[in-house]
Amino acid sequence: MTQSGAITSKMAENRTFPPPAKFVEQANIKSLDEYRRMYEQSIRQPEEFWGKIAEGFHWFKKWDKVRDWKEPDVKWFVGAKTNVSYNCLDLQIEKGRGNHPAILFEGEPGDVRKITFKELRTEVCKFANVLKKLGVKKGDRVTIYMPMIPELPIAMLACARIGAPHSIIFGGFSATAISDRVGDADSHIIITCDGGWRRGKVVPLKATVDEALEIDRRVKQVVVFKRIGEQAKVTMKAGRDFWWHDLMKEASADCPAEQCDAEDPLFLLYTSGSTGKPKGIKHTTAGYMVYTAFTSKMIFDLKPNDLMWCTADIGWVTGHSYVVYGILQNGVTSLIYEGSPDFPNWERFWTMIEKHKPTVFYTAPTAIRAFMKQGRQLVDKHDLSSLRLLGSVGEPINPEAWMWYHEVVGRKSCPIVDTWWQTETGGILITPLPGITDTKPGSATRPFFGVEPDVVDRSGKTVNVNEGGLLVIRQPWPAMLRTVWGDHDRFKRTYWSDIKGCYFTGDGARRDADGYYWLMGRVDDVLNVSGHRLGTAEVESALVAHEAVAEAAVVGMPHEIKGEGIAAFVTLRKGFTASDELKKALDAHVVKEIGAIARPDQIRFSEALPKTRSGKIMRRLLREIAAGGDVKGDTTTLEDFNVINKLRQDDES
Ligand code: WTA
């Protein structure tokens, strides 16, 4: 565990916003007493609490025991048999929601599709049969690399239907990133598209997959959905590559859902850590299913006629849980948009809200800051009166952005749920409940049911009110990750060894006198760039893989829109000299190794990196230099004072 200094920052924010009376009247939870009672029970008697919640789901066989907890290993609904796709589709159809739209899709070019629960089940069953025919068996990992089109949830749910865990890779990742993940998951099949639309251009997904498969050759089959057509210019390799529509033509629409064990893996999702390559976070079936459905219902206050618009890409955990699994299980329509918020202009989202009338809108602070910059007049031109609830996720929301969201998008009449969680947590852990929580701009407020957070010092002792510390969770919740794929030791080391007896989040936080949590960013070497997680180690290893680079140190820097930007300090090998061309080449190299989300905001060359006598890179110092601030603290342990001086000169030029 390293220390970024983030946990000492303070935020003074005293404004509170009670839920609007009109919202309270209809809210799923409207009494603070009811919350307190339920919360108490969820912590003291978790088995009774979750057992009761789980009654409302479909089980082929009920559990023998609700929770089996032997730190750090937990099992939920032990012995139960269920299927997540059944709960998302068949159960909804049984409840009379068959003709209700499950997905409302708008492509970037403006094409719209509505898919009912019945139609979705048909597509899912057909694709599940396609997978079976290709030889995919229960337990096989299926890699998915697709844009935000309905075939992505169709592919996911088809995997869930046959018990084959999916591993979705965000469409912005590069060929190298794909091959790393395919290799780690030992996956032999990829579902992709000829391409997707982004800012009017074709994102060449299939070509990127082809490149990835040159690096790692284990993949035997590639299924390609035709989203673009002619313009995508794909090449199909006979015997390996198949068109989705060809396979679907012959597939039967009947595919009984596999009876999965409660603890069978549902999916892997790769995320960045403070060291090494991204890790495959493993989520299992029943706990994740129950937790995402219940959080969706309570936090987004879902009702049958809601239209949920979560703008996250399904390639991230937010999309897994709150575009697909949690929302469909409530029989609610999920709005999916393929493209970029600034295409053809910055009014795209507001135009879509006016047209499709979503009731719940869930997005990231980085997007809100980008909209703020464009000015409120672009929002004010549109009728956003369908919205009744707003959500924020992915990074701390600064109070200015919160207020703008509240006043401009929410017209002061929508509660805001600032939801804190992680890929590892599977679902939201700290959040307001919109009908009862008085919100404070910038605070994620209180724990959800079953979640027992604490703020502690490095020895594990609870810190005082308003004192910064490390955020930990004291007992397991149903959607907790079960392991890091293929590396249970890494799971134990990363989450269960820094602070004894609890799950360590990697985040800094403080708790105020009202028991509200204020998240203060990561305390490890993980960056949060536009709400996307990136390990500094990953960017560093991408840089040193370039022939010109001897050593690299990557740190975060404040960024007006992204929240955090990427600053890279680089020393060069003999024979290479610093130049703008080289900067550009390194930039392109990082994009090739990881993807455009990892493109450095600053690359700075130096003769040597500042290190302590024991050889550790002085990251705090680099962060201060990158932020353009003064160099503070004790620098006498530096190996080379000239280094600092040189860097300071660069800073001034
Ligand atoms: C950060 C995204 C403050 C946090 C769901 C966490 C937040 C990391 C919030 C997980 C929030 C997420 N307030 N910080 N509301 N939500 N974070 O795995 O640092 O992509 O550890 O999951 O994002 O990012 P991940």
CB 154 within 8 A of CB 123: yes
Distance 47 CA to ligand 1 centre (A): 27
Distance 272 CA to ligand 1 centre (A): 12
CB 608 within 8 A of CB 640: yes
Tell the residue nearest (CA) to atom 24 of ligand 1.
422
pLDDT at site 6: 40
CB 448 within 8 A of CB 473: no
Alpha-carbon span 276 to 341, nearest angstrom = 33
CB 57 within 8 A of CB 90: no
Kind and range of the H or E run holding 649: helix 641-652
Q: Which atom of ligand 1 is nearest to the CA of 533?
A: 20
**Could you tell me the end-to-end alpha-carbon distance of the chain, in angstroms, rounded to an integer?**
34
Pocket test for ligand 1, best of 267, 325, 455, 507 (most atoms within 8 A of CB): 507
Alpha-carbon span 246 to 634, nearest angstrom = 66
CA distances from 463 to 2, 310, 437, 467 (A): 19, 35, 24, 6
pLDDT at site 3: 41
Tell the residue nearest (CA) to atom 10 of ligand 1.
422
Tokens of 7: 């946990």
Distance 77 CA to ligand 1 centre (A): 27
Distance 462 CA to ligand 1 centre (A): 22
Q: Which atom of ligand 1 is nearest to the CA of 522?
A: 19
Q: Which atom of ligand 1 is nearest to the CA of 532?
A: 20
CA distances from 606 to 152, 623, 652 (A): 45, 15, 14
Tell the residue nearest (CA) to atom 3 of ligand 1.
396
Residue 183: φ, ψ to 5° = -65, -45
Tell the residue nearest (CA) to atom 7 of ligand 1.
395
Tell the residue nearest (CA) to atom 11 of ligand 1.
420
CB 361 within 8 A of CB 387: yes
Alpha-carbon span 188 to 218, nearest angstrom = 6
CB 4 within 8 A of CB 522: yes
Tell the residue nearest (CA) to atom 12 of ligand 1.
394
Residue at token pair 């930990």:
472
Cβ density class 608-624: b for 16+ within 10 Å, e for less: bbbbeeeeebbbbbbbb
Kind and range of the H or E run holding 66: strand 65-70
Distance 419 CA to ligand 1 centre (A): 8
CA distances from 408 to 219, 390, 403, 505 (A): 48, 12, 8, 33
Distance 318 CA to ligand 1 centre (A): 10
- From the CB of residue 245, how many other CB atoms can be counted at a distance below 10 Å? 10
Enumerate residue ranges in the chain where pLDDT < 50: 1-10, 630-639, 641, 652-653
Distance 428 CA to ligand 1 centre (A): 10
Q: Which atom of ligand 1 is nearest to the CA of 431?
A: 15
Pocket test for ligand 1, best of 268, 390, 421 (most atoms within 8 A of CB): 421
Distance 169 CA to ligand 1 centre (A): 18
Structure confidence by residue, pLDDT tens digits, 66-81: 999 999 999 999 999 9
467: three-class secondary structure by DSSP: coil
Alpha-carbon span 606 to 610, nearest angstrom = 9
Cβ density class 275-309: b for 16+ within 10 Å, e for less: bebbbbbbbbbbbbbbbbbbbbbbbbbbbeebbbb
Q: Which atom of ligand 1 is nearest to the CA of 397?
A: 13
Closest C-alpha to 224, from 186, 191, 181: 191
Q: Which atom of ligand 1 is nearest to the CA of 424?
A: 18
Please give the DSSP secondary-structure letter assigned to residue 7: G
Q: Which atom of ligand 1 is nearest to the CA of 505?
A: 21
Alpha-carbon span 591 to 600, nearest angstrom = 9
Distance 393 CA to ligand 1 centre (A): 7
DSSP bridge partners of 191: 144, 223
Tokens of 571: 């020393």
Pocket test for ligand 1, best of 299, 420, 470 (most atoms within 8 A of CB): 420
Tokens of 418: 């600032």
Please give the DSSP secondary-structure letter assigned to residue 533: E
Pocket test for ligand 1, best of 369, 533, 564, 597 (most atoms within 8 A of CB): 533
Kind and range of the H or E run holding 484: strand 483-484
Cis check: omega of the bond before 72, within 30 degrees of 0: yes
Cβ density class 529-556: b for 16+ within 10 Å, e for less: bbbbbbbbbbbbbbbbebebbebbbbbb
pLDDT at site 269: 98
Tell the residue nearest (CA) to atom 8 of ligand 1.
422
Distance 420 CA to ligand 1 centre (A): 6
Alpha-carbon span 310 to 293, nearest angstrom = 15
Total residues found in the chain within this entry: 653
> What does DSSP say about strands 453-456 and 196-198: parallel, antiparallel, or unpaired?
unpaired
Distance 530 CA to ligand 1 centre (A): 11
Tell the residue nearest (CA) to atom 1 of ligand 1.
395
Q: Which atom of ligand 1 is nearest to the CA of 316?
A: 20
Between CA 359 and CA 364, with CA 363 as vertex, the angle to 5 degrees is 160
Distance 5 CA to ligand 1 centre (A): 18
Tell the residue nearest (CA) to atom 25 of ligand 1.
422
Distance 531 CA to ligand 1 centre (A): 7
Q: Which residues line ligand 1 (CB under 6 A)?
A: 271, 316-318, 393-396, 418-423, 444, 505-507, 519, 521-522, 528, 533
DSSP bridge partners of 552: 570
Where do the DSSP E strands lie in 123-215? 142-145, 166-168, 189-193, 196-198, 201-203
Where do the DSSP E strands lie in 421-572? 453-456, 469-473, 483-484, 503-511, 517-522, 526-529, 532-535, 549-559, 563-572
CB 587 within 8 A of CB 595: no
Residue 186: φ, ψ to 5° = 45, 60
pTM comes to: 0.94
Distance 361 CA to ligand 1 centre (A): 18
Distance 396 CA to ligand 1 centre (A): 8
pLDDT at site 617: 87
Alpha-carbon span 103 to 118, nearest angstrom = 11
Pocket test for ligand 1, best of 528, 532, 562, 564 (most atoms within 8 A of CB): 528
Kind and range of the H or E run holding 215: helix 205-215
Q: Residue 363, CB half-sphere, CA atoms under 13 Å: how many?
A: 23
